[in-house]
Amino acid sequence: MRWGWVLVVAIAAAVIWSRSRDPAPRSVVVATPVVSATVAVVPPPLVVAEPVTDVGRFADPFCGSPDEPSRFADQKLSAAASRDPRIGAAFGAVEQARASHDLAAERRAWASALRLAPDEPMLALRYALSASASPEFASAAAALGNYLAKVPGDIVAARLRSRLEVQVSIQEDFERIDRDSIMLAFPRELDFDATNTLLATLDRSLDDAARLTGSPRRRELYAVVYRDQSELMAVTCMPAWAGGVFDGALRLTMDKIAEKTIRHEIMHAQIGARKVPFWFGEGLAQYFESTEPMQWHSFSSLMLENQAYIPFASLVENFAVFTESHDAALAYTQSEAMLRMLVERDGEGGITRALRLAETGTPPEALARVLGLEEGDLLAFLAREKVRR
C-alpha cells in the first residue's frame, strides 16, 4: 500500500520536474517508467481538472495509519472444537458458499458454527467479518464484543467494532426495503420516488455488470444511503474526497446519488471477492460508469507530453490509502486507459476473458502480462484516444 503512495508521489514529482524545466529536445524524450524509491519529499499538489470522487473498493475495511497493524490477531480453533464433526461440516459449507460467491450462505455457515461453539474466539471473529457489511451488522458488532472479551489486544477488531457501533446508532431509525436480492437501507428523509428510482438503478446496473463481465449476477447486495458525507466517513474511514464506496456493502450519500457513482460501485460489487489487480477493478468500474468516451484528465495530457506512465506492476495493489484526490487521479486515469486498451484490441470479450483468467488462478500481478498488455503501447493508445476526442 505504501509503495503505491510513494510511487504516485514520484510520478507527480517527475511530472512537475519535467514541466518546470526547458523543453527537452524530442530526440532524448523516451518512455520512462517512473521509479518510485528515490523520492523522499512530498511535492506540491498538482491541479487536476476533474478530481476523482470515488475511492471504490477497499482491500481491507479497517482504519488506522499504515504503521499500525492492519490484520486481525491469528486465531485457531481449540482442539475440542476442531474435532467436532458438526463444526467440520459448517467449514465445508463455508467453502462451498465461497466457491459460488454466496455471501448469505457463508454468513449462515459461520453463524451455525458459532452457535455450536459460542466460546471459540475464532468463530466469533469469522462470523463478525462475514456479517459486518450485511444487514446483520449489529450482530457482527455483538460477536466482536464477545471476541474482544477473549482477545482484548486485537486493535483492528476493536476498531471495526467501534465503527459498527457507530453504524448501529446512525442507522437506528433507517427504513429498509428488500427487492430483487437488493436490500436497501435509507433514512426516512429519502422520499418514495427517490427510493424507487434508486432501487431500479441498482437492479439494472447489477444486470448490466453481470452481462459485461460474463459472470453470474451477484446474489445479494446490501446498499445503504447515508444522510451526508460525515455519516459515511464515520462508518467507513474513507478519505474525505470519496463520494461513494463499496466495502462489502454499497454505501452512498443522499446528496450525491448519481447514476455514474452507482454504476461504478455496482461493478466493484459484481467483481466482489475475485482477486483482480487494482488497474483492472478501477479501470473496469470507470469504463462501466457510462457510455461516454474515456475520461480525459489533465494528467492524460501530461502523461503524453512527458512520455511518463506508472509501471503496470505498481498498479496491482489498492490505492485507497490516498488522502488527496490528485494522488489517486493519476492511478485512476491510467487504469481506465489500460482497460480501454484491452477493449480497443479485443472488444468487450476481453473483459470476460480477463475475469475468467483471474478466477482460474492468474495472479493479479500477472494479469496484464498474460493479457498481452504492454507498457510500451500505453502512450500510443493515449495518443490515439486524444485524436478521437
Contacts with Zn ion by CB under 5 A lie at: 56, 282, 285
Q: Considering the complex, state which of residue 136 and residue 282 has its C-beta at the smaller distance from Zn ion.
A: 282
Pick between residue 226 and residue 246 the one whose CB is nearest to Zn ion. 246
Closest separation between CB of residue 57 and Zn ion, Å? 6
Q: Whole-angstrom Cα distance, residue 43 to residue 238? A: 23
- Work out how close the CB of 331 gets to Zn ion at its nearest, in angstroms, rounded to a whole number: 11
**Minimum CB distance to Zn ion smaller for 56 or for 135:** 56
User: Cβ closer to Zn ion: 282 or 385?
Assistant: 282
CB of 345 to Zn ion, least distance (A): 23
CB of 375 to Zn ion, least distance (A): 22
> C-beta of 242: minimal distance to Zn ion in Å?
9
Beta pairing, strands 182-186 & 175-179 = antiparallel
46, HSE (Cβ side, Cα atoms, 13 Å): 28
Q: Which residue is nearest to Zn ion (CB)?
A: 56
> Looking at the DSSP assignment, which residues form a beta bridge with residue 309?
33
Alpha-carbon gap, residue 204 to 200, rounded angstroms? 6
Closest separation in Å from C-beta 227 to Zn ion: 22
Nearest to 231 by CA among 287, 173, 279, 303: 173
Shortest Cβ distance from residue 281 to Zn ion (Å)?
7
246: left (phi over 0), alpha (psi -120 to 50) or beta: beta
Nearer to Zn ion, 8 or 148 (CB): 8
Dist CA 130 CA 110 (whole Å): 8
387, with CB counted inside 10 A (0-12, 13-18, 19+), is exposed
Side-chain-side CA neighbours of 145 within 13 Å: the count stands at 10
Q: State whether residue 247 is helix, strand or coil.
A: coil
Taking the least distance from each CB to Zn ion, the nearer of 171 and 213 is 213
Q: Which three cell numbers stand for residue 225?
A: 444511503
Closest approach of Zn ion to the CB of residue 55, in Å? 7
- What is the length of the chain? 389
| Diameter over CA atoms, the chain | 73
CA distance 233 to 214: 33
Which of 215, 286 has the CB closer to Zn ion?
286
CB nearer to Zn ion: pick between 110 and 246: 246
Q: Which residues pair with 183 in a beta bridge?
A: 178, 222
DSSP, collapsed to helix, strand or coil, labels residue 143 as helix
